[in-house]
């Protein structure tokens, strides 16, 4: 009787093991932060040394500053904006397209504060983007899964794989196939968009994702898309989905 019971228990354990889902593959994604020197990592961690904090502080002031019509961002969004930057781009039904965080900020400025439109690197939009990005530091990137975004994501994925320029290279060839190798003495990152807008030492300034994308396109000796073009937007939709689940770094520092 004991033998039969032991065999039954062993059989149950075997069946349970066979029916259990396979273990999840380890997440091998690495932020560009992981590829930086300890000194640069320390700079990003320390807000008193992080040069991008100048834009964050300016954005914080703009957030509460009344416009000419007496309204302010804080007057509408009194509950805080933690996690918002980790959920953009998001689909906008009125425009029938996704909006980046910077585009949403500009839309609100125009519609509710009666201010002139600005690009993503505009004098007010960029610091406001930095302020909101910093509110999402440590949050998981959770891109919108609206089915209306999927065509944009597919277009972005296609652009990510598309060879461009005189060097005939694609984004994926550098940031996937050659990630971890070195280019000009610097490590090639996996290209995850975990900390935009980003302060780049190369620029000595803060800049939006589109500026970094433009640098890459020019780097392969290709003609960049027009400022604000749908191609940049599609790439951003794809890249945010590619980085889903990774931690948002707020405003990052990069070489």
Count of positions (residues) in the chain: 255
- Cα–Cα distance for residue pair 70/81, rounded to 1 Å: 21
User: Is the pLDDT at 129 greater than 80, yes or no?
Assistant: yes
Distance from the Cα of residue 22 to its chain's centroid = 30
* Cβ proximity of 106 and 125 under 8 Å: yes
**Over residues 61-71, mean pLDDT:** 96
pLDDT value at position 25?
A: 80
14 pLDDT band (50/70/90 cuts)? low
User: Is the pLDDT at 20 greater than 70, yes or no?
Assistant: no
pLDDT value at position 186?
A: 85
Structure tokens at 2: 């004991």
Out of 2-6, 64-68, 181-185, which region has the weakest mean confidence (pLDDT)? 2-6
What lies within 8 Å, CB to CB, of 133 at 6+ separation is 85, 101, 195, 196, 197, 248, 250, 251
Q: Nearest Cα to 64, choosing from 52, 50, 76, 53?
A: 76
User: Is the pLDDT at 51 greater than 90, yes or no?
Assistant: yes
pLDDT value at position 9?
A: 56
The pTM of the full predicted model, rounded to 2 decimals, is 0.88
pLDDT value at position 16?
A: 53
pLDDT value at position 8?
A: 54
What lies within 8 Å, CB to CB, of 74 at 6+ separation is 63, 64
Distance from the Cα of residue 64 to its chain's centroid = 25
pLDDT value at position 165?
A: 96
132 pLDDT band (50/70/90 cuts)? very high
Structure tokens at 169: 């290279």
pLDDT value at position 200?
A: 97
- Cα–Cα distance for residue pair 168/204, rounded to 1 Å: 29
Indicate the domain borders of the chain. Answer: 31-255
- % of residues, the chain, pLDDT over 70: 91
CATH superfamily of domain region 31-255: Cytochrome c-like domain (1.10.760.10)
**Over residues 28-34, mean pLDDT:** 96
Look over the chain and give the mean of its residue pLDDT values, rounded to a whole number: 92
Out of 14-18, 138-142, 209-213, which region has the weakest mean confidence (pLDDT)? 14-18
pLDDT value at position 161?
A: 98
């Amino acid at each position: 009787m004991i033998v039969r019971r032991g065999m039954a228990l062993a059989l149950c354990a075997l069946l349970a093991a066979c029916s259990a889902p396979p273990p999840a593959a380890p997440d091998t994604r690495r932020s560009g932060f992981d590829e930086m020197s300890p000194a640069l990592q320390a700079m990003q961690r320390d807000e008193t040394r992080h040069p991008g904090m100048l834009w964050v502080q300016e954005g914080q002031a703009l957030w509460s500053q009344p416009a000419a019509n007496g309204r302010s961002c804080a007057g509408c969004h009194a509950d805080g904006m933690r996690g918002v930057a980790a959920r953009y781009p998001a689909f906008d039904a009125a425009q029938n397209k996704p909006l980046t965080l910077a585009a949403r900020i500009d839309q609100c400025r125009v519609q509710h504060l009666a201010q002139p439109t600005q690009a993503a690197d505009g004098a007010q939009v960029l610091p406001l983007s930095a302020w909101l990005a910093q509110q999402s530091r440590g949050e998981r990137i959770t891109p919108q899964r609206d089915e209306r975004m999927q065509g944009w994501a597919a277009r972005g994925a296609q652009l990510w794989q598309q060879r461009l320029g005189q060097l005939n290279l694609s984004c994926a060839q550098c940031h996937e196939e050659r990630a971890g190798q070195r280019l000009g003495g610097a490590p090639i990152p996996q290209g995850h968009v975990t900390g935009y807008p980003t302060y780049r030492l190369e620029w000595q300034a803060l800049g939006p994702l589109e500026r970094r994308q433009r640098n890459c396109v020019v780097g392969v000796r290709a003609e960049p898309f027009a400022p604000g073009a749908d191609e940049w937007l599609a790439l951003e939709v794809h890249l945010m989905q590619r980085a889903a689940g990774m931690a948002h770094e707020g405003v990052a520092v990069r070489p």
